[in-house]
Amino acid sequence: MHSIGDRVLEHIRQACPTTRHRDIAEDIGMTPDAFSRALNGKRAFSSIELARLADRLNADIHWLITGQPDPHRLIVAARHSFDHATGRRDVPGRDADEQVLRDIALAYRQTYPEPRHGPVLPESPDGARTALGENFVRPFADRLENRLGVDVVRVADLSTAYSFTIGGHRVIALPATGNWFRENWSMAHELGHLVRGHHDQGLSETEWDRHEAAANAFAADLLLPRESLAVIDWDRLDAAGLADLVWQWGVSTDALARRLNVLNGHLPAVVRTWAGQTTQRLLRRHGACGSGKDEITLRMDAAARRRFPLALQEAHLKGIASGVLGKGALAWMLGIDPDALEVDSPAVPEVDVDDLAKALGF
């Protein structure tokens, strides 16, 4: 695809193959003839036409013009809600989440103006599990950052989990709900999107569904590998044993039931009994903890806490200290008023009013 017209045609074929070119031309203020000639390289698109076209097609204008993706473009994949009765997937809060995602991306752009090449991610759930190490579900976010180079952000203003790449930095953004087992699945799911290179730009509904199914399969293989399930004597397992497994694996009873049903075509009696009840009920009634602490509440508290990577915060602190950045973005990350944030920042010299007036020519 050597010309802008070629790239526009390719994006139309991918994003809206049934839409008439005449209708697209009308939407962006072009005549059908002018649009046709621009697609065929007989006429150049104007800058305003390209801007409108990129907006109409939800396309990367940098790619339309240069043939290369914009290294600073926010490329997002979201965890979709799935209706098991209808089989439909959706992200009902996507529009409301947009500003939060932009704010997160801005924090990265301010700190890392130059794009980078992140570390290569493992290609398979087995490879990811090996890299993350044993018992990774409790410190899942820390392991993602320290061992895979995937940052994890948690804020209360999101409706669902997202993943995106900004300037080469891979980021998973989570809603702060306190639901730690759903959060584990969301991190595994979004890691699947990042590993597979998924994003929601210009995808058809069929491609959307295929990407979601692939990310969900990745999460299932990562958190509930077939070999781990196969060694359990399910017929002899009681509620206490099930609670112990759910706690170790960091998943919900519903997720475990669906995984077993996919692999075996049926559910063990104890799983069937608890599949329709909340995971918290099972853990509160039958879970055992030898630490003497309320570990369930501690996990809930951690999954409800605002979180930004320490490396990102430290980079902002350095930027503030050098005078390159203001305090606003860091204060937002911490969830506090900028005026209450005490950090090392350059002293602002006092300016004499008369000297200022003289310098301005007054």
DSSP states of 337-352 as a string? -GGG------------
Q: How far apart are the first and last CA of the chain?
A: 58
Is residue 104 a contact partner of residue 167, using CB atoms and an 8 Å limit? no
- Could you report the per-residue pLDDT of 203-223, keeping only the tens digit for each? 666 777 888 899 999 999 999
Spatial CA neighbour of 209 closest among 338, 102, 77, 326: 77
CB 136 within 8 A of CB 146: no
**Dihedral, CA of residue 5, residue 7, residue 12 and residue 14, to nearest 10:** 160
Is 90 exceeded by the pLDDT of residue 116?
A: no
pLDDT of the residue at 203: 62
Q: How many CB atoms lie within 10 A of CB 18?
A: 5
* For the chain, percent of residues with pLDDT exceeding 90: 61
**pLDDT band for position 303 (cuts 50, 70, 90):** very high
Confidence of residue 233 (pLDDT cuts 50, 70, 90): very high
The average pLDDT across 326-344 equals: 90
Residue type, 251: V
Contacts for 194 with CB less than 8 Å, ≥ 6 apart: 77, 121, 150, 163, 165, 170, 172
What pLDDT does residue 347 have? 63
**Contacting residues for 264 by C-beta, under 8 A, at least 6 apart:** none
- Mention every residue, 6+ apart, whose C-beta is less than 8 A from residue 223: 137, 184, 185, 188, 249, 250, 251, 255
C-alpha–C-alpha distance, residues 256 and 229, integer Å: 10
Question: From CA 360, how far away is CA 220, in angstroms rounded?
Answer: 66
304-329 average pLDDT score: 93
Q: What is the pLDDT of residue 204?
A: 66
Query: Strand, helix or coil at 184?
Result: helix
Distance, CA of 150 to CA of 157 (rounded, Å) = 21
State how far the Cα of 130 lies from the Cα of 196, in Å rounded to an integer.
18
Question: What is the mean predicted confidence (pLDDT) over 150-167?
Answer: 93
Average pLDDT over residues 170-188: 96
The predicted model gives 51-71 an average pLDDT of 82
| Cα distance between residue 262 and residue 250, in whole Å | 19
The third-level CATH classification (topology) of the domain covering 4-66 is 434 Repressor (Amino-terminal Domain) (1.10.260)
Cβ neighbours of residue 267 closer than 8 Å, sequence gap 6 or more = 257, 260, 261, 275
In the chain, the percentage of residues whose pLDDT exceeds 70 is 87
Q: Supply 152's token pair.
A: 């994890």
Which residue reads 């790449």 in tokens? 165
* Distance separating alpha carbons of residues 334 and 337, to the nearest angstrom: 9
Q: How far is CA 350 from CA 49, 113, 320, 327, 355, in A?
A: 48, 31, 19, 20, 11
Instruction: Pick the range with the lowest mean pLDDT from 112-126, 165-179, 185-199, 226-240.
Output: 112-126
Residues contacting residue 315 through CB under 8 Å, at least 6 positions apart: 111, 112
- Asked if residue 88 has pLDDT above 80, the reply is no
Residue that wins the pLDDT comparison between 47 and 178: 178
Q: Measure the CA–CA gap between 360 and 362, rounded to whole angstroms.
A: 6
pLDDT in the model for residue 137:
95
Runs of H (alpha helix) within the chain: 4-15, 21-27, 32-39, 47-57, 61-66, 94-111, 125-132, 140-148, 180-196, 205-223, 226-230, 239-249, 253-264, 269-275, 279-286, 295-303, 310-321, 328-334, 353-359
Locate CATH 1.10.260.40 in the chain. 4-66
pLDDT classification of 247: cutoffs 50, 70, 90 = very high
